[in-house]
């Protein structure tokens, strides 16, 4: 029996494991880095041990420090979560040698699946269908290119030790092969300290369907059905659902049995996921097996009514599986979306900064939020930018979709860019609603999902007007002389003797400069805005302690968050971020074309020489942040005058990296 559990992880998965452990009466120990000293998982655990500096290599990935923390606190088991050390066979063996239970599979099983190349060979022997490809050890670029030519383009380069889309590149023709290979190897080396590549035929328009398996130490195994994880960006999952739409019972059974063959072939124990590509004809091919708990495991818990972490702890303690295959069934439908700090309108660039507001929807039996952050926390460059996972359950797919949309509308995040509006566009797209998904869903529907023109509505203008009025009123109140604190000239209610004063402010919304006029008091504030696409004026009042905008008799509640010269309003399930512009803003005389770092990160390589002439969109440098590479490109034809950074240098977001001059055009 496990009595004290150390969670060798952070964030939402650590909090999620703590929740089950607490329910089972198991004491918990958290570990943390300098960056996570006040993190939610540290607050929720019974004990917490400091590991070291923020970089994961010096804290969460340091095996000796993690084991020392377990010994120091008397933990008799370690749960690795996912990521970090979860699929590290050396860590598994170190736990065993230290007499500590590793909540996961045996080291041999991790080794077997740790290399995608070796895994393919094992699966072939276990009669698990495979995608044609090359899984050998010879990494000579010429040999790899020859296999790509043999397989036939398009091909997919994949890091043999990889996962999460890192070290993965699609190659459509031979001319792109070597550049893609170099980039994939570099990213794999940075992420996994291993740049061995495998090559597979690129299956056109596939679905990504995975099977949750569970095995005990007595040799028994079950599959807890499938999850469809087809909607992805950068090969990373965005939306997951269970069961997979349109999957026949026969195919479900075939995939489940194939997944169990895969698990039994490597002597698997615990929770694992076998990932398949499913083509339009119903054929499926083994991709990889993740020897850990998956990020998207909550959708399986929702449709089966089971707690997979509880299963993990039970099996790790030597118990048999709690249920047999015939005792498992699918109940309703579930969705999970991943809330990320990122900018979908800027190639999903990760965002960093402080969460000025983090207000998830209320949880109940059909709405669940797994998170490791709270208002005031910092999203840093050191770790994955995921803020939370939002999971919903319904009696059927349509009901679950409606609940997800409603929950996303209720979710409020301010202080940094996030993907909530993007997720709403995805799940409300006609193709998604009808279950027509594949791994290229976002690219196929980019026009509708990523390039929607954002219009400003009256209810949003009203909320911004109220924000501006209250901000001004507070400033006037603060400036009121102590000798006459009730002076009407500092009341902030626009009081004038015998006339109405209209105030005007300019703000930037969706990249547009707009003017909002307002007049009145807190009890009855009137506003005007010519930029609104519907009503262009209205009234705002505070009724029963709530902020309410009244538009032609329609009452709309709103709330707001202020941060420096910027603000955020939430109204009718939508969020509007805006910047308050200073008075009399003229066009800037600065015509420089310096390129700034889009985030904190490390410079990987410079791709041009100072003084070089470059064309528009030509890559100029590569930087790495949040475990992913990002390429800065020339904004126009021009000249790279100077670099203000070097390979290996850590740079701050917003710092000037390149002095760039655009080419002049002559009439």
As a whole number of angstroms, the distance between CA 136 and CA 153 comes to 19
3-state secondary structure of 233: strand
Q: Which residues contact 590 (CB under 8 A, 6 or more apart)?
A: none
As a whole number of angstroms, the distance between CA 453 and CA 19 comes to 42
Give counts: helices (H), strands (E), the chain: 17, 39
As a whole number of angstroms, the distance between CA 522 and CA 526 comes to 10
Q: Does residue 243 have a cis peptide bond before it, meaning omega lies within 30 degrees of 0?
A: yes
Furthest-apart CA atoms within the chain: distance in Å: 91
Place of tokens 């790899």: 144
Give 203: exposed, middle or buried? Use CB within 10 Å, 0-12, 13-18, 19+.
buried
Q: Which of 292, 338, 368, 397 is an active site residue?
A: 292
Task: Measure the CA dihedral 493/497/501/503, to 10°.
Answer: -50
**How do 656-662 and 638-643 pair as beta strands?**
antiparallel
Task: Measure the CA dihedral 73/74/76/80, to 10°.
Answer: 10
On the CB side of 295, CA atoms within 13 Å amount to 24
Q: What is the 3-state secondary structure (H, E, C) of 72-128?
A: HHCCCEEECCCCCCCCCHHHHHHHHHCCCEECCCCHHHHHHHHCHHHHHHHHHHCCC
The length of the chain is 667
554 catalytically annotated: no
Rg of the chain over all Cα atoms, to the nearest angstrom: 27
Quote the Cα angle for 87-419-466, to 5°: 145
As a whole number of angstroms, the distance between CA 112 and CA 122 comes to 8
As a whole number of angstroms, the distance between CA 503 and CA 469 comes to 9
Task: Measure the CA dihedral 241/243/245/250, to 10°.
Answer: 150
As a whole number of angstroms, the distance between CA 95 and CA 76 comes to 10
Residues with catalytic function: 292
């Amino acid at each position: 029996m496990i009595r004290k559990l150390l969670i060798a992880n952070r964030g939402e998965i650590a909090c999620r494991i703590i929740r089950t452990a607490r329910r089972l009466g198991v004491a918990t120990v958290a570990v943390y880095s300098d960056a996570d000293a006040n993190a939610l998982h540290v607050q929720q655990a019974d004990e917490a041990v400091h590991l070291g500096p923020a970089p994961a290599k010096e804290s969460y990935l340091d095996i000796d420090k993690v084991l020392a923390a377990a010994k120091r606190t008397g933990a008799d088991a370690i749960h690795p979560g996912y990521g970090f050390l979860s699929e590290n066979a050396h860590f598994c063996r170190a736990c065993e040698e230290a007499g500590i239970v590793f909540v996961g599979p045996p080291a041999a099983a991790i080794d077997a699946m740790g290399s995608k190349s070796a895994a393919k060979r094992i699966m072939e022997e276990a009669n698990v269908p495979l995608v044609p490809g090359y899984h050998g050890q010879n990494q000579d670029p010429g040999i790899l290119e020859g296999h790509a030519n043999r397989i036939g383009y398009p091909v997919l380069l994949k890091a043999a030790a990889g996962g999460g889309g890192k070290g993965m590149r699609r190659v459509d023709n031979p001319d792109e092969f070597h550049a893609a290979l170099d980039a994939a190897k570099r990213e794999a080396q940075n992420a996994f300290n291993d740049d061995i590549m495998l090559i597979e035929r690129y299956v056109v328009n596939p679905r990504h369907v995975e099977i949750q398996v569970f095995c005990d130490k007595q040799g028994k195994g079950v599959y807890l059905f499938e999850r469809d994880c087809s909607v992805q960006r950068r090969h990373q999952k965005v939306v997951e659902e269970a069961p997979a739409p349109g999957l026949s019972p026969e195919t479900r059974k075939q995939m489940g049995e194939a997944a169990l063959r895969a698990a039994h072939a490597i002597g698997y124990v615990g929770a694992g996921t076998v990932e398949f590509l499913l083509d339009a004809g119903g054929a499926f091919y083994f991709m990889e097996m993740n020897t850990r708990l998956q990020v998207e495991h909550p959708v399986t818990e929702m449709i089966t009514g089971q707690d997979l972490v509880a299963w993990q702890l039970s099996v790790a303690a030597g118990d048999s599986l709690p249920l047999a295959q015939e005792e498992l069934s699918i109940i309703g439908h579930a969705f999970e979306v991943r809330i990320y700090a990122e900018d979908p309108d800027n190639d999903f660039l990760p965002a960093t900064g402080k969460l000025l507001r983090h207000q998830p929807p209320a949880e109940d039996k059909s709405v669940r939020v797994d998170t490791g952050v709270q208002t005031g926390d910092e999203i840093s460059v050191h770790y994955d930018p995921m803020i939370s996972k939002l999971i919903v359950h319904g009696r059927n797919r349509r009901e679950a979709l409606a609940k997800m949309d409603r929950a996303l509308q209720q979710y409020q995040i301010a202080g940094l860019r996030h993907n909530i509006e993007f997720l709403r566009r995805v799940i409300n797209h006609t193709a998604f609603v009808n279950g027509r998904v594949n791994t290229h869903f976002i690219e196929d529907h980019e026009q509708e999902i990523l390039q929607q023109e954002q219009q400003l509505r009256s209810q949003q203008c009203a909320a911004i007007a109220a924000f501006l009025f209250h901000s001004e009123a507070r400033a006037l109140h603060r400036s009121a002389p102590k000798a006459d604190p009730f002076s009407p000239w500092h009341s902030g209610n626009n009081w004038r003797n015998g006339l109405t004063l209209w105030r005007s402010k300019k703000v930037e919304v969706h990249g547009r400069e707009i003017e909002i006029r307002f007049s009145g008091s807190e009890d009855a504030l009137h506003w005007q805005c010519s930029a609104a696409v519907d009503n262009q004026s209205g009234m705002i009042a505070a009724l029963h302690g709530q902020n309410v905008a009244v538009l032609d008799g329609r009452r709309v509640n709103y709330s707001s968050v202020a941060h420096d010269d910027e603000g955020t309003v939430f109204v009718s399930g939508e969020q509007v971020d805006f910047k308050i512009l200073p008075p009399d803003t003229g066009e800037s005389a600065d015509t420089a074309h310096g390129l700034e770092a889009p985030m904190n990160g490390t410079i990987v390589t410079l791709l041009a020489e100072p003084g070089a002439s470059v064309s528009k969109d030509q890559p100029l440098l590569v930087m790495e942040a949040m475990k992913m590479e990002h390429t800065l490109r020339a904004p126009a034809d021009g000249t790279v005058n100077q670099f203000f950074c070097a390979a290996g240098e850590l740079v701050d977001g917003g710092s000037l990296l390149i002095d760039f001059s655009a080419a002049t055009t002559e009439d």
